[in-house]
Amino acid sequence: MSAIFGIVGFQHFYLGRYIEGTIDFGLFILAIYLYVNGELLLGFAVFAIDSIHTFIVTIMLLTGSFKDGSGKLVCYPGQKITIGET
Protein backbone atom coordinates (compact mmCIF):
# COMPACT_ATOMS: atom_id res chain seq x y z
CA MET A 1 0.00 0.00 0.00
CA SER A 2 2.84 2.39 0.79
CA ALA A 3 4.44 1.91 -2.62
CA ILE A 4 1.18 2.81 -4.39
CA PHE A 5 -0.54 5.39 -2.16
CA GLY A 6 2.43 6.46 -0.03
CA ILE A 7 2.71 9.92 -1.55
CA VAL A 8 -0.75 10.72 -0.17
CA GLY A 9 0.05 9.17 3.23
CA PHE A 10 -2.66 6.50 3.38
CA GLN A 11 -0.36 3.98 5.04
CA HIS A 12 0.10 6.27 8.05
CA PHE A 13 -3.65 6.62 8.58
CA TYR A 14 -4.08 2.85 8.20
CA LEU A 15 -1.39 2.19 10.81
CA GLY A 16 -2.70 4.76 13.29
CA ARG A 17 0.06 7.32 12.75
CA TYR A 18 -2.32 10.22 12.20
CA ILE A 19 0.14 13.10 12.60
CA GLU A 20 2.49 11.69 9.95
CA GLY A 21 -0.51 10.92 7.73
CA THR A 22 -1.74 14.49 8.01
CA ILE A 23 1.73 15.85 7.19
CA ASP A 24 2.08 13.53 4.18
CA PHE A 25 -1.39 14.41 2.92
CA GLY A 26 -0.66 18.12 3.44
CA LEU A 27 2.56 17.89 1.42
CA PHE A 28 0.66 16.16 -1.39
CA ILE A 29 -2.04 18.84 -1.44
CA LEU A 30 0.59 21.60 -1.28
CA ALA A 31 2.48 20.12 -4.23
CA ILE A 32 -0.73 19.92 -6.31
CA TYR A 33 -1.65 23.50 -5.31
CA LEU A 34 1.77 24.79 -6.32
CA TYR A 35 1.63 22.97 -9.68
CA VAL A 36 -1.82 24.37 -10.45
CA ASN A 37 -0.74 27.92 -9.58
CA GLY A 38 2.32 27.83 -11.82
CA GLU A 39 5.01 27.33 -9.17
CA LEU A 40 6.39 24.27 -10.94
CA LEU A 41 9.87 24.24 -9.41
CA LEU A 42 8.63 24.67 -5.85
CA GLY A 43 5.85 22.13 -6.46
CA PHE A 44 8.42 19.66 -7.76
CA ALA A 45 10.61 20.24 -4.68
CA VAL A 46 7.70 19.53 -2.30
CA PHE A 47 6.75 16.45 -4.33
CA ALA A 48 10.38 15.25 -4.26
CA ILE A 49 10.55 15.59 -0.46
CA ASP A 50 7.30 13.65 -0.11
CA SER A 51 8.55 10.97 -2.54
CA ILE A 52 11.84 10.50 -0.66
CA HIS A 53 9.94 10.14 2.62
CA THR A 54 7.60 7.59 1.02
CA PHE A 55 10.55 5.60 -0.33
CA ILE A 56 12.17 5.46 3.12
CA VAL A 57 8.90 4.39 4.79
CA THR A 58 8.34 1.70 2.14
CA ILE A 59 11.84 0.26 2.72
CA MET A 60 11.24 0.31 6.48
CA LEU A 61 7.93 -1.53 6.00
CA LEU A 62 9.56 -4.16 3.76
CA THR A 63 12.36 -4.76 6.26
CA GLY A 64 10.04 -4.92 9.28
CA SER A 65 11.52 -1.90 11.04
CA PHE A 66 8.46 0.38 10.96
CA LYS A 67 6.12 0.73 13.94
CA ASP A 68 2.40 1.41 13.94
CA GLY A 69 0.63 3.95 16.13
CA SER A 70 0.70 1.55 19.09
CA GLY A 71 4.46 1.01 18.88
CA LYS A 72 4.23 -2.52 17.41
CA LEU A 73 6.48 -3.52 14.53
CA VAL A 74 4.69 -3.92 11.22
CA CYS A 75 5.59 -6.89 9.02
CA TYR A 76 4.09 -8.71 6.09
CA PRO A 77 2.64 -12.22 6.64
CA GLY A 78 5.38 -14.78 7.16
CA GLN A 79 8.14 -12.25 7.77
CA LYS A 80 10.39 -13.10 10.69
CA ILE A 81 11.51 -10.18 12.79
CA THR A 82 14.53 -10.45 15.04
CA ILE A 83 14.70 -7.81 17.73
CA GLY A 84 18.01 -6.74 19.20
CA GLU A 85 20.18 -9.01 17.07
CA THR A 86 23.75 -7.76 16.65
pLDDT per residue over 3-51, tens digit each?
667 788 888 888 899 999 999 999 999 999 999 999 999 999 999 999 8
| Better pLDDT: 47 or 75 | 47
Cα–Cα–Cα angle for 64, 70, 75, rounded to 5 degrees: 20
Q: Is 17 helix (H, G, I), strand (E, B) or coil?
A: coil
Q: Domain boundaries in the chain?
A: 2-74
Smallest Cα–Cα separation from 1: which of 74, 81, 78, 65?
74
**83 — pLDDT class (breaks 50, 70, 90):** low
DSSP 49: H
